[in-house]
Chain A
Amino acid sequence: MTAVSEQIGNWLAAFTGQREASAGWVVELRKAGFERFAEVGFPTTHDEEWRFTNVAAIARTTYRVGSADRLVCAPEIVEKMETASAASHLGHYAAVNGNPFVALNTAFIDHAVPATVLRVPANAVVESPIEITHEVPADVTGDPRESLPISVHPRTLILVGANAQCSIVETYKGEGSYFTNAVTEIVVGENGVVDHYRLQQESPEAFHVSSTQAQLGRSATFSTHSISLGGSLVRNDVGAVLSEGTEATLNGLYIANGTQHVDHHTVIDHAKAHGTSHELYKGILDDRASAVFNGRIIVRKDAQKTDSKQTNKNLVLSDDAVINTKPELQILADDVRCTHGATIGQLDAESMFYLQSRGINRGDARNLLIYAFAQDVADRIKVAALRDSLERILFEKFHEHSH
């Protein structure tokens, strides 16, 4: 067997050995996912989309497929649905023929725990956030199979009805060495208002790959915030398809030190006219960390009067940290406004001196400036509890960091 077929073979055993799906269409969807994955395998750095992110460490590991502990906290008005009832949506937005990891995730829908399917009814205004937490607990020993590292494939679908309003907080965390491969699909109806937050706090040894795909209705307002702090190898794909008059915000904050690698690929697809998109991604890199930001903006032929702005700013704290940042604009309409810009900078020496000249210790001054750099992304988080915990996390992360 070649190395590639051996890889697939391990996954095949897990695929065929999993419990039966809850509906015929899920069986078919899983099958489509696995077939696609078996066909293309894991990407390599020869694939343009994966040029700077080498997933060989994931590809060569034999995992057992398991599930993370899932906790869903949602106000009563939010409907928790069976996977079987989501035939018309599940798998329609994050398609298996795109990203191989989405295909792999799809192959394991309802593996051990059912997919998280939530519906916010039309016109509902959900005040408190919907919180979905996936936690991979520390390895339990005993069963020899359990000595294999675990891979988990959380799948989430959130359907938000017309004129409804809600905020969603997804958190991913865990202990030890494992691989999370998450896919979230979000559908926002006409005029809906949704704020989505994704907090990635995986263990320092974990691999984390995710796809978040949003389908946005006419005049909907949507924001998604990717806060990526943990993991040793991280790839987050974030996509949004806009309709007429849709307003979409894609924000992100990635912080990496040690040998962490974090990659964000975003795709904003202006399918119809009068859409607005704002994108602000900020990164802080130290030690030998590396990061990738690839921001694609598509403006389709019919998407006249599109207004799109993309910004990627990076603060690089060491000589050995690496950032690859690339905008990708595909503009097929002629009456649009699209701007983009990327910066890579270091801590400002004058600001450091100013703070120190007031008695503030070098380490504290450094933390304060790093914190200030991240401040505007943090400020845009509207869920107060999340903003507060992020501020605490940042503070601790930079603090441990400076000594």
Chain B
Amino acid sequence: MSLLEIQDLHATVGDREILKGISLSINPGEVHAIMGPNGSGKSTLAQVLAGRELYNVTGGSVLFDGEDLLEMDPEERAQKGIFLAFQYPVEIPGVSNMYFLKAALNTIRKSRNLPELDAFDFLNLVKEKMKLMEMDQALLNRPVNTGFSGGEKKRNEIFQMAVLEPRLAILDETDSGLDIDALRIVAGGVNALRSPERSMIVVTHYQRLLNYIVPDFVHVLSEGRIVKSGGKELALELEEKGYAGLGIEDEEEAVGRV
């Protein structure tokens, strides 16, 4: 059985329909890349799956491990094993990274009938995962994402993912704003988390990230629909021909060519 089963998903924000019938099936252990120009609905799909209330689901269904995902609150989805790495991680002054992550981990553990981790075990776990992300431990005592550089924020997302060990990780443009060194570290962290039980959706505008996180499948999104699906070679084809090569308009590239 597939871990995630999306059927004909429609979603709107305000009066605007952004997702216009998306169907996608993801099996345990698979990594799916979702590519597409700006405004194609990639981020909306990521946020709808995580339960952002800003979007209204107007049609279709999503099953996660056989359960109706759309019925669940965001926290319930997280407790069941969904993790969204935010494109723009939110700064929360006044809440320490450490406190936040411990609260998150222990709520998730509790929901799975696992014992909560005490401060000592938590710190050991966190130290190990920080090493993986080459993160400075001082970041733990800082408020969540506050005063972090762009790269530190993205690393912090993957670090959280490493601690929370989701069954389905959704990476929303995790590569944007990263220089090549930071990209390598982030991708290394993601690859270390690949396992036969864990699935991933990698949302990206550029093929670059997929050199480091090699997907099993690539889907191209345009105007709220998946217009093409294929293996990892589809990403290379896109790299070569651009979205225009598939007959898709891309605002950014269009501007770039003037």
Distance from A32 Cβ to chain B, minimum over Cβ atoms (Å): 47
Cα separation A341 to B41 with both chains bound (whole Å):
39
Task: Check A376 against B89 for contact (C-beta < 8 Å).
Answer: no
Q: What 1/0 mask marks residues of chain A from 329 to 356 whose CB sits below 8 Å from any chain B CB?
A: 0000000000000000000111101111
Chain A: CB-nearest residue to B144? A354
Task: Check A358 against B160 for contact (C-beta < 8 Å).
Answer: yes
Cα separation A362 to B92 with both chains bound (whole Å):
16
Q: Classify chain A: how many residues form its interface, as a range.
A: 20 to 34
Assess A356 versus B51: contact at CB under 8 Å? Given A372-B93, A375-B94: yes
Task: Check B107 against A357 for contact (C-beta < 8 Å).
Answer: no
Cα separation A349 to B164 with both chains bound (whole Å):
22
Assess A354 versus B73: contact at CB under 8 Å? Given A359-B79, A361-B107: no
Distance from A403 Cβ to chain B, minimum over Cβ atoms (Å): 16
Inter-chain contacts of B101 with A (CB < 8 A): 358
Assess A364 versus B74: contact at CB under 8 Å? Given A350-B90, A351-B90: no
Q: What 1/0 mask marks residues of chain B from 90 to 105 whose CB sits below 8 Å from any chain A CB?
A: 1011110000110111
Assess A360 versus B104: contact at CB under 8 Å? Given A353-B52, A353-B53, A353-B74: yes
Chain A: CB-nearest residue to B145? A354
Distance from A213 Cβ to chain B, minimum over Cβ atoms (Å): 32
Inter-chain contacts of A357 with B (CB < 8 A): 50-51, 74-75, 77-78, 83-84, 86
**B111 contacts chain A at the CB level, 8 A cutoff:** yes
Assess A372 versus B75: contact at CB under 8 Å? Given A356-B51, A358-B104: no
**B209 contacts chain A at the CB level, 8 A cutoff:** no
**B201 contacts chain A at the CB level, 8 A cutoff:** no
Question: What is the count of residue pairs linking A and B with beta-carbon distances less than 8 angstroms?
Answer: 81
Inter-chain contacts of B92 with A (CB < 8 A): 351, 354-355, 369, 372
Assess A372 versus B86: contact at CB under 8 Å? Given A359-B104, A361-B75: no
Cross-interface CB contact of A358 among B78, B94, B111, cutoff 8 Å: B78
**B35 contacts chain A at the CB level, 8 A cutoff:** no
**B108 contacts chain A at the CB level, 8 A cutoff:** yes
Cross-interface CB contact of A364 among B77, B86, B103, B111, cutoff 8 Å: B103
Q: Which residue among B50, B53, B103, B160 has the maximum number of chain A CB atoms within 10 Å of its CB?
A: B103
Assess A360 versus B94: contact at CB under 8 Å? Given A353-B52, A354-B86: no
**A371 contacts chain B at the CB level, 8 A cutoff:** yes
Q: What 1/0 mask marks residues of chain A from 81 to 121 whose CB sits below 8 Å from any chain B CB?
A: 00000000000000000000000000000000000000000
Distance from B156 Cβ to chain A, minimum over Cβ atoms (Å): 12
Task: Check B94 against A372 for contact (C-beta < 8 Å).
Answer: yes
**A368 contacts chain B at the CB level, 8 A cutoff:** yes
Q: Which 3 A-B pairs have the closest CB atoms?
A: A372-B94, A375-B94, A359-B78
Can you list 18 A-B pairs with a CB-CB distance of less than 8 A? Answer: A349-B53, A349-B54, A351-B90, A354-B86, A354-B90, A354-B92, A355-B100, A357-B75, A357-B86, A358-B83, A358-B160, A359-B104, A360-B75, A364-B107, A365-B75, A369-B95, A371-B95, A375-B95
Q: Which residues of B contact A (CB under 8 A)?
A: 50-54, 73-75, 77-79, 83-84, 86, 89-90, 92-95, 100-101, 103-105, 107-108, 111, 143-144, 160, 164
Additional 18 contacts, C-beta under 8 A, given A349-B53, A360-B75, A372-B92: A349-B54, A351-B92, A353-B50, A353-B51, A353-B52, A354-B92, A355-B92, A355-B104, A356-B75, A357-B74, A358-B83, A359-B104, A359-B107, A362-B73, A362-B75, A369-B95, A372-B93, A375-B95
